[in-house]
Structure 1
Amino acid sequence: MNTKVKIIGAGSIGNHLTHGCRQQDWEVTLCDTDAAALQRTRNEIYPARYGQWDAAIRLAHPDETVGENFDAIFIGTPPDTHINIALEELSQNPPKLLLIEKPLCPPALTGCVRLYELAKQKNVQVLVGYNHTLTPNTLLAEQWLQAGSLGNILTIHAQIREHWQGIFNAHPWISGPEDTYLGHTERGGGALGEHSHGLAIWQHFARLSGHGRVTEVSAMLDMVEARGAHYDRLAQLHLRTESGLVGLLIQDVITEPADKQLRLQGENGYLDWYINLKPGMDAVRLRLVGQPEQQQTFSKTRPDDFQPEIAHIDTLLAHPEQTSPISLAYGMETMLVIAAAIRSHQTGKLVRIDYDQPYGYDALS
């Protein structure tokens, strides 16, 4: 039986997810409340990116899909709409799986607990779209880390530093950050939200290396207020985990050319992970003391970034008992660290996260 998917939001990410699903020959309905966005998808975005329009894709207003059943629903709208849309979908005709694009929500964290509880009640697996956690370079880095040759990991340094002009190039109907959530940190934009792939991959490798969750955050943000926008263009976070590991995370929307990498520094050497080490090429590099450097590269196109995520979803639909490295619980942890970073910047103090407290601002001190 063919997999039936509804994708909500016909912007850049909605088109990427639609194309990824069609590569699996899934039945796709792409929804948007804006008829102009659907026409832009049909006539401009999709043909320009992928060669031609795919007539098998159904374009619809969300109201046209009420009462229909879908195996999976993907939410690719602005972050400040994610939770309400997700709650509505779970309350009506819940799918088997729900994917929410990153970041999960604004840093106020409103509705996260309700979403978690409702997903559990409805037995729906919810994911957050940190797709770089699933790409081939990440899988190889995991293998090299788990081989144990690095010894104990002493620190982790990650940075996702990329000027966001590329985002505006992919959304030519947007004139600048002030026109959308991107220019508003409190709506889930700015460097903290938009480039939170960096934080998510930092947390991923902290977990895999046995260092657990982030428990302390000390942050400095470079805030910009202009033309109605108010956002962090640079975020520097010092992080401490449950094991005591201390590391660094940097995210910004000003660096050109982009610099996207992570280093795991071990007792016996280091492992480097790269997105776009060169254009169209991800990579992993391992250097052990006294041994030649190992490097493996992975050629890719931009659509290739989403294929592992779609394949992962296919696996989860067939085997819902499996766990996921992009689970809702992990996405909520990422948002909690973002909330802690904002509080740290505002107060000028280190902020602690207590996971024994109820999820939300009560967990921050």
Structure 2
Amino acid sequence: MYRTKIIGAGSIGNHLANASRALGWKVDICDVDPAALDRTRNDIYPARYGAWDEEIGLYEAGQAPKGVYDLIFIGTPPDTHMDLALAAVEEGPRAILVEKPICGPDLMGAQTLMTQAAAKNVAGFVGYDHVVGSACLRAGEQIAAGIHGRVETLDVEIREHWGGIFGAHPWLEGPHDSYLGFWKRGGGAAGEHSHGFNMWQHLAHILDAGRVVEVTATLDYVQDGRVDYDRLCLANLRTEKGLTGRVVQDVVTRPPKKYARVQGDAGFVEWHCGYRSGADAVVWAKHDEDIQEEVFTKTRPDDFILEMQHIEAALKPGAPVSPISLARGLDTMLVIAATHKSAALGRSIGIDYTRGYVPEALVG
């Protein structure tokens, strides 16, 4: 049984706590705001999961034990992640999980975290849970089987109005009231919906296409004196082995559209999130053959339970590289940073991974 500390008593922190308890782990939740802890006990957790779990410990920040946890999860705003993650590594857990995006586009602290985690032998994960969901795993199997033939392009869209986010955080008045309304803090479409970039990179790895090395982007920013965020992010990507495709992310589309498509010369494979209410799906076909689909029923808590099960498996000796590893999450952060730089300069931006997770890795 793992002993787990969750930093942040917001929506994500509650999901992580419930998922951890579903696996029988011991859980403590910490937050700087006593009101957030009260909301967790009296509102969020019982409303979502039926009742408060008295086995969960609640601590104001700084009062929780240190150095006794197997896992430390960080579910706070992105502009607080790095300091908390570095402090978590110093406690010496087996692993840390940082929610997405892992930091702001300035990449402040990113390489330091990578270096320190390796030095302390602490495994790192980033919360891109879509890529470890049942539908994505099945899509990966179909892609690996070569249903599509020779890959020609890869498209991913994560387009969703962020009303759902504010519905899960009713204490926020709107985007101006949190990091969400500020792209430099990790908000906006490029940061908050960066599942799209991460999914594209994940599928590119399955296709053996390598990492993203070039980004050409157009972003539609909202700047009204109270907020500064991108509501629409359009990015063309190219990998080390020449695969090209696009990612579209926005915070305006409703109903949501979340899908990925691998198009080949012999057919296609698609992943769909929210294919219908309470279900994801994989859709595929070879040219001139009937379209097939496989539907995966799920709930929102299931997403996090699968993520916890994945982390548990990934920590076993001999486990393969995790698609939500710290390195993969930081690769995604480089693409997010390159996207903003490309939009600002109006030209393509290269990524030089030999320079590390630093602004100097963005070339052009």
- Shorter-chain TM band: over 0.9
Hey, what does 2:329 align to over in structure 1?
331
Say if 1:178 and 1:227, in contact at 8 Å, map to a contact too.
no
**1:321 Cα shift?**
5.2
CA–CA distance in structure 2, aligned partners of residues 45 and 194 of structure 1: 21
Hey, what does 2:63 align to over in structure 1?
64
Hey, what does 2:290 align to over in structure 1?
292
Give CA deviations for 1:40-60 in whole Å, capped at 9, x if unaligned.
Answer: 000000111111111111111
Say if 2:313 and 2:319, in contact at 8 Å, map to a contact too.
no
CA–CA distance in structure 2, aligned partners of residues 226 and 278 of structure 1: 36
Hey, what does 1:35 align to over in structure 2?
34
Equivalent of 1:192 in 190, 193, 196: 190
CA–CA distance in structure 2, aligned partners of residues 231 and 207 of structure 1: 30
CA–CA distance in structure 2, aligned partners of residues 260 and 249 of structure 1: 11
Say if 1:190 and 1:232, in contact at 8 Å, map to a contact too.
yes
Aligned residue identity for 2:47: A
Say if 1:235 and 1:252, in contact at 8 Å, map to a contact too.
yes
Say if 2:67 and 2:92, in contact at 8 Å, map to a contact too.
no
CA–CA distance in structure 1, aligned partners of residues 212 and 67 of structure 2: 40
Say if 1:185 and 1:231, in contact at 8 Å, map to a contact too.
yes
Give secondary structure in 1 for the equivalent of 2:72.
strand
- Scaled by the length of structure 2, the TM-score of the pair is 0.98
Give CA deviations for 1:36-80 in whole Å, capped at 9, x if unaligned.
Answer: 000000000011111111111111113122434101000000000
Hey, what does 1:143 align to over in structure 2?
141
**1:322 Cα shift?**
4.0
- Scaled by the length of structure 1, the TM-score of the pair is 0.97
**1:360 Cα shift?**
1.7
Equivalent of 1:174 in 172, 175, 178: 172
Say if 2:147 and 2:269, in contact at 8 Å, map to a contact too.
no
Give secondary structure in 1 for the equivalent of 2:32.
coil
Give secondary structure in 2 for the equivalent of 1:87.
helix
Hey, what does 2:253 align to over in structure 1?
255
Aligned residue identity for 2:44: I
Hey, what does 2:116 align to over in structure 1?
118
CA–CA distance in structure 2, aligned partners of residues 317 and 69 of structure 1: 18
Hey, what does 1:363 align to over in structure 2?
361
Hey, what does 2:302 align to over in structure 1?
304
Aligned residue identity for 1:83: M
Give secondary structure in 1 for the equivalent of 2:313.
helix
**1:222 Cα shift?**
0.4
Hey, what does 2:223 align to over in structure 1?
225
Q: How well do the aligned residues superpose, as a CA RMSD in angstroms?
A: 1.1
Give CA deviations for 1:103-127 in whole Å, capped at 9, x if unaligned.
Answer: 0100000111110111011000000
**1:129 Cα shift?**
0.5
Hey, what does 2:233 align to over in structure 1?
235
Hey, what does 1:354 align to over in structure 2?
352
Equivalent of 1:165 in 160, 163, 166: 163
Equivalent of 1:202 in 191, 200, 203: 200
Say if 2:183 and 2:191, in contact at 8 Å, map to a contact too.
yes
Aligned residue identity for 2:95: L
Aligned pair count? Answer: 363
Aligned residue identity for 1:18: A
Hey, what does 2:48 align to over in structure 1?
49
Hey, what does 1:215 align to over in structure 2?
213
Gap runs ≥5 in structure 2:
none
Gap runs ≥5 in structure 1:
none
**1:153 Cα shift?**
1.1
Aligned residue identity for 1:23: A
CA–CA distance in structure 1, aligned partners of residues 313 and 324 of structure 2: 13
When structure 1 is superposed on structure 2, of 118-127 and 61-70 the one drifting more is 61-70
Give CA deviations for 1:200-241 in whole Å, capped at 9, x if unaligned.
Answer: 000000111011111111100000012521000000001111
Hey, what does 2:78 align to over in structure 1?
79
